[in-house]
Amino acid sequence: MKKIKIISVVGARPNFMKVAPLEREFAKLPHIFEHLICHTGQHYDYEMSQSFFDDLGLSKPSFYLGAGSGSHGEQTGKILIEFEKVCQTAKPDLVIVVGDVNSTIAATLVAVKMGIKTAHIEAGLRSFDRTMPEEINRIATDSICDYFFVTEESGVKNLLREGRSPEKIFFVGNTMIDSLIGILPKIDKSKILENLNISPKTFALMTLHRPSNVDSKKQLSKIVEIIRFIAEKITIVFPIHPRTKKNLEKLSLLSELEEIPNLIQTEPLGYIDFIKLMKNSRFVITDSGGIQEETTFLQIPCLTLRTTTERPITTEIGTNRLVPPVKEKIIEAIIETLNQPNVESAIPPLWDGKTAERIVNIIANVIFKNRINK
């Protein structure tokens, strides 16, 4: 029997964590699957990319597209051109895309136009905020791909409302949580707390990278003021995203940030070190999507500086709280969190570490059932 050839496309930090558990599950069925990884190079910084491959035990990619930085159009265009060449050469039976980055929609467009079956992991998530580039990527990807693997019930409802076929939608859980569960035994080896000279539960962890928070001088100046306020109450550990650092430098705010006492700036961190910090923090401040999920699973209070979330389960039963990116609202939320750090929460359904196993079973026994049985 000819093996089913699958290409999983990754381009940014969250993608790696979502694909690593799949790779391990495909490897258990070598007589059925040939699984290849295509790295688009959307994250080109080592700590944003290669170190995550190392931490997660991901194989070296079979294809590297070298997309690099650039505008949305430039980045998407480069991936379109190069991934088409990959598909022409490799002739996959299925392309798996994950998340909501430019790599996701670009690879989906190529595969669908070439008549290749396409599956979207983390399908159906919606913030209903079309000013977010990621929302456009999510909507566009789900409008053309073939199969939908969903992390939470809201995704199923959104896809059905948008007219997707129920038999193509699979509520399977969250592969990012698979990776998180798998990495927990390893984080004890991390020396990041010692290296930064901090103790558990004595600091807040912050990450910011979205254009709405870091691209304008007005908003970024407010963020610096907020950091100054927080640092008066508790130590802040701030791994600075390349985009954020670039804008701080360009807008002449980096030196102002560096003068704040009680603030520990770091370069982007590897996955193990970052999760070690998250697990040991008093609370997390972020504008990331995936961190809302990780903090919910670890039951760490999370303040998300956004007015919407595509992951509503994290606010409904998890530890996540949406905070409008307004100075007064953020300060109010920080004070409340410091005064009452423990929040009642639960872990969402099927976030149990077995999502990748469910996905691979569906691919083998539902999507390619007839072919395997021949």
Out of 35, 120, 209, 241, pick the active-site residue: 209
345 φ, ψ (degrees, to nearest 5): -155, 165
> Would you say the C-alpha torsion 310, 315, 317, 319 has a positive or negative sign?
positive
How many residues belong to the chain?
374
| Pick from 29, 32, 26, 28: nearest CA to 2 | 32
Distance CA 195, CA 345 (A): 31
8-state DSSP, 174: -
Give the count of beta carbons closer than 10 Å to the beta carbon of residue 264: 17
> Would you call 39 a catalytic residue per the annotation?
no
Catalytic positions: 209
